[in-house]
Structure 1
């Protein structure tokens, strides 16, 4: 009996959810604009995840967002989702998953998703406001860790956000608005960031509109870091 009680207590102390494997859910449902780059994003995430011993499961059925459905995953990726993609019970399941120890990674228009759900606004960090016309080239600057101050060029659709997320997140990269037209956030324009959420983790980048971006080695290195953090295999984002 004493052994049984000890076993039960040990189970209660395990983090929720109890992951069945090292799978990551890549969710690409869209209710508004649909990006042509989604297939490339899914392929890239699969390749980068495999490097880390992780397995990607791609889907667009929001029915997986239940406590049981999400318990099979270490993290959920919203890869260029748009609009209202989850109903209220599904939202509750995702929130419990994140707060209980799961991870979230948002790509680009993940910030153009679930505007009426306050928790999601905190999870993604900042919602999309508008973007300059077309693709433009800007300079990205990395912040923190051994990469602090490293810069590289990017050509992509560069989002402006409804708020600067810096007070609530750890900013990992900014873009220099002086190098392109249409930026509205001023001298401090975060484009990639992360934050803890309950016992879970959230990581987001505004890059990823254009399919060509996913072949950029600097972007791939950034996504590799994001996957490791969201999946909980690295404590550093």
Structure 2
């Protein structure tokens, strides 16, 4: 009888531990939410659905939740509070009105995170604060082609697993303006491809991060193609940037 009672107590204890573990896991996911925003008012990248699917998969595999929208009405102070990071996935054009811009500024100033992917530098050209947040403004790009990237900082979550010299295919952006004091992670070797008439020369960043106005900002110009979002190294790069923006250390 005592043996049966001890077994029941052990069984109940194991059930309790499992339920507690599941509850804690769900709670952690709910507190680690990101918002993927992909509104376009100009060119619309065909790779946006692939990018959304990839980020959702990364979220599932790494214990966070990814909500997605193209609706700028999500940008209110009360709604943004639930997210650790807002990800601008290949947006273009003027995508937020004045009220939405102020809500997003408040979100960053109270410690929020930002991730820009590919054409995040090709929107909101008249919003100076956003330009400083994302870190650059797009000018032009040549045809899609292979090029060699140089990983100049391997101490960041987004680059620690990348090769020092990284050859890959993408659409390579040139920038007409860049913010000062960016922490550059990756540059592109313009001698390895045809950078076009608006080439930038030896100093041509392609990914960077910085603390800005109370929050954290990471931007990668990579990610034009569908294939990018199936590429293990690019996904590791992207995940590391998201984790940094969320305030995670590993």
1:156 to 165, 170, 176: 170
Matching residue of 1:98: 108
Query: TM-score by structure 1 length?
Result: 0.86
Aligned residues of 2:32 and 2:83 also touching (Cα < 8 A): yes
CA distance in 2, matches of 1:57, 1:171: 28
CA distance in 2, matches of 1:122, 1:49: 27
Aligned residues: 215
1:62-73 equivalence runs, <5 A: 62-73=72-83
Structure 2: runs of 5+ lacking an equivalent: 1-28
Q: Deviations over 1:93-118 (max 9, x none)?
A: 10110111000000011100100100
Matching residue of 1:12: none
2:231 is equivalent to residue 222 of structure 1: no
Displacement after TM superposition at 1:164 (Å) = 4.2
Matching residue of 2:209: 194
Displacement after TM superposition at 1:50 (Å) = 2.5
1:4-83 equivalence runs, <5 A: 21-83=31-93
1:161-176 equivalence runs, <5 A: 161-165=175-179, 167-176=180-189
Q: Deviations over 1:72-102 (max 9, x none)?
A: 1111000000000000010011011011100
Displacement after TM superposition at 1:209 (Å) = 0.8
Matching residue of 2:10: none
CA distance in 1, matches of 2:110, 2:30: 15
Matching residue of 1:119: 129
CA distance in 1, matches of 2:44, 2:117: 13
Aligned residues of 1:126 and 1:163 also touching (Cα < 8 A): yes
Query: TM-score by structure 2 length?
Result: 0.82
Displacement after TM superposition at 1:230 (Å) = 1.0
Displacement after TM superposition at 1:154 (Å) = 1.4
Q: Deviations over 1:28-68 (max 9, x none)?
A: 10000000000000111112222321100000110110101
Aligned residues of 2:138 and 2:174 also touching (Cα < 8 A): yes
Aligned residues of 1:156 and 1:208 also touching (Cα < 8 A): yes
Structure 1: runs of 5+ lacking an equivalent: 1-18
Q: Which has the larger radius of gyration?
A: 2
Matching residue of 2:191: 178
Matching residue of 1:140: 149
2:249 to 224, 227, 234: 234
Q: CA RMSD in A?
A: 1.7
Q: Deviations over 1:137-169 (max 9, x none)?
A: 10111122454971111101100001244x321
Matching residue of 2:223: 208
| Regions of 4+ moved over 4 Å | 146-149
